[in-house]
Amino acid sequence: MRLLAFLARRIYQSVFVLLGLSILIFIIARILPGDPARTALGARAPEWVVERLREDMHLNDSVPVQYVYWLRGALGGDFGDSLVTRRDVANDILEFFPASFELVLLAGIISGVAGIGLGTLSARHKDTWVDNIVRILSYMGVVTPAFVFAIMLLLIFGLALNWLPAIGRLSDGVPAPPTFTGLMTVDALLAGQLATFWDALKHLIMPAVALSLGALSQEARITRATMADNLSKDYIATARSLGIPERIVMGRFLLKPSLIPTVSILGLDFAGTFSNAFLVELIFNWPGLSRYGMNAMLRKDLNAISAVILVLGVIFITVNIVVDLVVGGLDPRIRLRAARTE
Amino acid sequence: MAQPSKVETLAPPITRQYVRQLQRRNRMENLGRGWYKFSRNPLSILGAATVLLVTLLAIFAPWIAPHPEHAAPFTNFAHAHLPPSLEYPFGTDEIGRDILSRVIFGFRLSLWMGVVVLALVVPVGVVLGLIAGYAQGTRLDTIIMRLTDVFLAVPPLILALAIASVLEPNLTNSMVAVSLMWWPWYTRLVYGLASTLRNEFFVSSAETMGASTSHILFRELLPNMISPIFTKMSLDMGWVIIIGSMLSFVGLGVQEPTPALGTMVAKGARFLPDQWWVSIFPALAIVAVVLGFNLLGDGLRDLFAGEEV
Amino acid sequence: MSAPPRLLEVKDLSVHFKVYSGVLKVLDGVNFSVDAGEKVGLVGETGCGKTTTMKAILRILPHPPAIVPKGEILFKGEDILRMKPDQMRRVRGPGISMVFQDPTAALNPVFTIGEQVGPVIRYSSPENRGLSRRQIRQKALVPLQEVALADPERLLDAYPIQLSGGMRQRVCIGMALATNPELLIADEPGTSLDVTIQDQVIRLLGELVERKRTSVILITHSLGVVREMTDRVYVMYAGNMVEVAPTPRLFANPLHPYTRGLMEAVPKLTGGGMAMGIPGRLPSYQHPPPGCRFHTRCPHVMPVCRREKPPLFRVEAGHEVACFLYGPEVERHSSELAA
């Protein structure tokens, strides 16, 4: 019951935030001087055709009216047409989303598993050489932007050693697997095409690793700090002193409370990963949403820009709500305090 | 026989002035202790030294850079794509420009951007946070915080990219873009601090004495938040530089031929792996300066950690 | 004639902590013992090393900073410091268990009471290991009932944050006694609570310990509690035991200047005059004063105190003091008595 109330409240708040976001985007998009209709049709189109398009795009109406038209369309899933691809933006997004999702998902898994794992290892062997190496590496991971990592990986593994391919999702000549989920690796496995799976994986690994390193380092640092802190807490000493075996003390009673701060930042880490994806997709020529959005931004494709930002906003807000739920699940203090103040 | 208590005659009267004096002295002592801790941590010193070095390079770029004219329109195809050497320590790029000089001027740009963005963002963000935190629970609070939520609803870089993309690509506009997406972080931080502090006794005592709102905001609440704000600012310099370099990486920052570190990394990526220096040295420069600010920020945080409110 | 080994015997225990700026020599040759069925009190100011000694006994000191350069801790004759992990497992819990000072910190905030008491019961004896979760849950009700907690069934599913301070303290006591230990260490029970609740808690502890015939080490800085609850008392200062005596004797005749100072620091309802504190502070553990660690604050300091560390001098049966004031003259006196 409390869960539903919490969800309901968050969704209610999110609606307002999304509304505000859409207004913000709209205002930004309309600041641009110039004539979107003219840009779409080119310099040689006759004036009356351009004027017709202007009417269609409601460009001659006042800004609030334009917003209403746009909003109505957006709610119905119609974001207009892209000036660049000349197709329905909604379709474009659906087409490019899975590639980004595959990338960000793998990056997220790598950073979560490796980050928490390394952090735990580091805390367990606090102040030894293992700990020091992990600390140094994770610090460097935090201060190095993802695109620098991407370029380095590209240089070393892609070009110098030539172990991994540098472009796209599949090599030339390898046919794409049938679409079940849109994630090429998963689809290839489901269809039993092992060779395709390997090829897709080889293309996926470098950008995913480059993308994961920032969040990985963040999570390793926080996990290590929290675990090292919690190791000296009284409740661990109590558990030990009452005869509970060490593996249970470490694996259960230390682990769960130590995960809380790390999970709390997963939302922010996810935002960071998606941001970095914008550049990493460009570097590896990955046909994903970020690259689509990036191209839209460079070419001032307003419909596409607005749509991409709105979609990202929805995704991000959803992820934040999920993260809050998970943290609430882990930490009863948050659940109970929230219930008390509501 | 019990002695008459000498306590009353020795202690000075407890006035607000006296309390403030004590606070100030306490803070000085803590800073002194913190500085001692700071100076004994080699990493913080390294950070401070790096930041200092970069700042000096940035300020005196035209006089320090070996080939300052390479930061302006310049071509010298005869010296194009030379590997690192004594004359060109970081090598040259595809049109013969000295990469070291361009990196030094790139620092100038990055630091300038960081300073301007923070100068814009911190006052606005902090003031909004103070107002919202003090007015906690009221409509004003909700409005301001919903506004920050809207700006924070999208991953920060993406918002900056979107804003930058609808404007003309130049330095000013990229600063505008980054500022617009940065200010909510300060508001959030200050809001959290202010809404906790406003329930402390020193605030209600100031209110009962009839202090004006601006007095409470700026002379009571704000001084207690200087440390976290300062720490965040020094860490943020690093992040602003990264965001700035990401903007210029995609071509939305300053345009050629003005040297920007991100642009140099992007343009140089074409020449990997053979002329690796064109891309790698600017990339390392970015990492170095961000590392410096991060180490400095961490050191400052440890310094201020000795100070308990 | 070989007597059966005492329940617990700490011999000449030293514990050092290695920190960034040097070494803290916290415990400096501590001697301490408990017999079966005894209730031993340990009194001393905050920071004097009481908790460190107890943690050393259970071997739960944090091992990177802590080192045990010398000493023996004999539990029923076997040295705990040299035990292997499986032997230690038999000591912790069924042998010795501990109630920590701050019940809020001693309970894991993200697990329910049942999830914390359950494992304690499960691992406290070999028979319990194979039991199902439901059976363990049933068994977990017992310690909660023993500490007079209302509605133990519901409590098992509650989180520590939902309980009051007094309830948490009772849970901790219940958990510690759930293992049926031979020796219970109670570290300042109830200190963080309201005085009335503290009283209840201490009384409860007393009843349970009587009933189960558990030996107890009761750490406290309250002389009143010591007087009521213990058979024998140790007084500790700056990492050393400075005096030990049967409780009535200690209060009738405190010998060590520090003990005297403690007694006088307690305000008395009768007798008039103000309570006097002991001037000065605990010495630094990193650079402890040579000789007797109390000599810098001692009103009766003598030249020898500044040079040598006083051993424990036997003044009468069971009453020993680590102070040169009771040195050779006292030994001569007691040997005259024996003759």
C244-299, pLDDT tens digit by residue? 999 999 888 888 888 888 888 777 666 666 667 777 777 888 888 888 888 888 88
Q: Residue A105 corresponds to which tokens in the numbers above?
A: 């998902």
Which position has the token pair 């600041």? A31
> Do A243 and C161 count as a contact with CB atoms less than 8 A apart?
no
Q: Residue A121 corresponds to which tokens in the numbers above?
A: 């290892």
Residues whose CB is less than 8 angstroms from the CB of residue C51 and which lie 6 or more positions away in sequence, other chains included: C101, C187, C219
A161–chain B Cβ distance below 8 A for any pair:
no
Check whether C34 has a pLDDT greater than 70: yes
Task: Name which of C20, C53, C108, C183 to mutate to probe chain A: the one with the most chain A Cβ atoms within 10 A of its Cβ.
Answer: C108
The shortest CB-CB distance from A242 to any of C85, C97, C105 is to: C97
- Tell me the C-alpha distance between B51 and B234, whole Å: 10
Average pLDDT value over all residues in chain B: 83
C-chain residue closest to A127, CA distance: C64
Q: What is the dihedral of CA A127, A132, A133, A139, to 10 degrees?
A: 140
B59–chain A Cβ distance below 8 A for any pair:
no
CB contacts of A313 in chain B (<8 Å) are 153-154
Closest to A240 (Cα-Cα) out of B136, C97, C104, C121? C97
- Tell me the C-alpha distance between B89 and B139, whole Å: 59
* Strand C215-220 to C183-187 pairing: parallel
Tens-place pLDDT, residues A270-312: 888 888 888 898 888 888 888 888 888 777 777 788 888 888 8
Chains touching chain A through at least 3 C-beta pairs below 8 angstroms are B, C
> How far does A331 lie from chain C, in Å, by closest CA?
5
> How far does A117 lie from chain B, in Å, by closest CA?
24
Average pLDDT over residues B297-308: 70
> Do A127 and C64 count as a contact with CB atoms less than 8 A apart?
yes
**Interface of chain C against chain A, CB under 8 Å?**
55, 58, 60, 62, 64, 85, 89, 92-94, 96-98, 100-102, 105-111, 116, 119-120, 123-124, 159, 161-162, 172, 175-176, 178-179
> How far does C140 lie from chain A, in Å, by closest CA?
14
Question: So what's the pLDDT on residue C112?
Answer: 92
Average pLDDT value over all residues in chain C: 85
Q: Which is more confidently placed, C168 or C273?
A: C168
- Tell me the C-alpha distance between A150 and A95, whole Å: 24
Tens-place pLDDT, residues B56-115: 988 888 888 888 887 778 787 887 888 888 888 888 888 888 888 889 988 988 999 999
Closest to B150 (Cα-Cα) out of A307, A19, A72, A30? A19
Question: So what's the pLDDT on residue A35?
Answer: 66
Question: So what's the pLDDT on residue A324?
Answer: 84
Average pLDDT over residues B205-213: 84
CB contacts of A296 in chain B (<8 Å) are 165
Check whether B7 has a pLDDT greater than 60: no
C-alpha distances in Å from residue A316, one per residue of A12, A104, A116, A242, C24: 15, 13, 22, 44, 50
Average pLDDT over residues B185-211: 85
> Do B158 and A154 count as a contact with CB atoms less than 8 A apart?
no
Question: So what's the pLDDT on residue A232?
Answer: 83
- Per-range mean pLDDT, top range of B150-164, C187-201, C223-237: C223-237
Question: So what's the pLDDT on residue A342?
Answer: 38
Question: What is the separation, in whole angstroms, between the first and last Cα of chain A?
Answer: 13
Residues A287 and A99: beta-carbon distance below 8 Å: yes
Check whether C73 has a pLDDT greater than 60: yes
Closest to B309 (Cα-Cα) out of B221, B235, B212? B221
Question: So what's the pLDDT on residue A83?
Answer: 67
Tens-place pLDDT, residues B255-286: 877 888 988 888 888 887 778 888 889 999 99
- Tell me the C-alpha distance between A2 and C210, whole Å: 46
Question: So what's the pLDDT on residue A78?
Answer: 73
Q: What is the dihedral of CA A67, A72, A76, A77, to 10 degrees?
A: -10
> Do B166 and A25 count as a contact with CB atoms less than 8 A apart?
no
Q: Where residue A339 falls among pLDDT bands split at 50, 70, 90?
A: low
Check whether B10 has a pLDDT greater than 70: no
Task: Name which of A28, A218, A295 to mutate to probe chain B: the one with the most chain B Cβ atoms within 10 A of its Cβ.
Answer: A28
Question: So what's the pLDDT on residue B309?
Answer: 33
Which position has the token pair 């309390």? B19
Closest to A208 (Cα-Cα) out of A287, A139, A277? A277
The shortest CB-CB distance from C100 to any of A234, A245, A330 is to: A234
Tens-place pLDDT, residues A104-162: 999 999 999 999 999 988 888 887 888 888 988 998 998 898 888 888 888 888 777 77
Task: Name which of A22, A24, A138 to mutate to probe chain B: the one with the most chain B Cβ atoms within 10 A of its Cβ.
Answer: A24
Residues A121 and A134: beta-carbon distance below 8 Å: yes
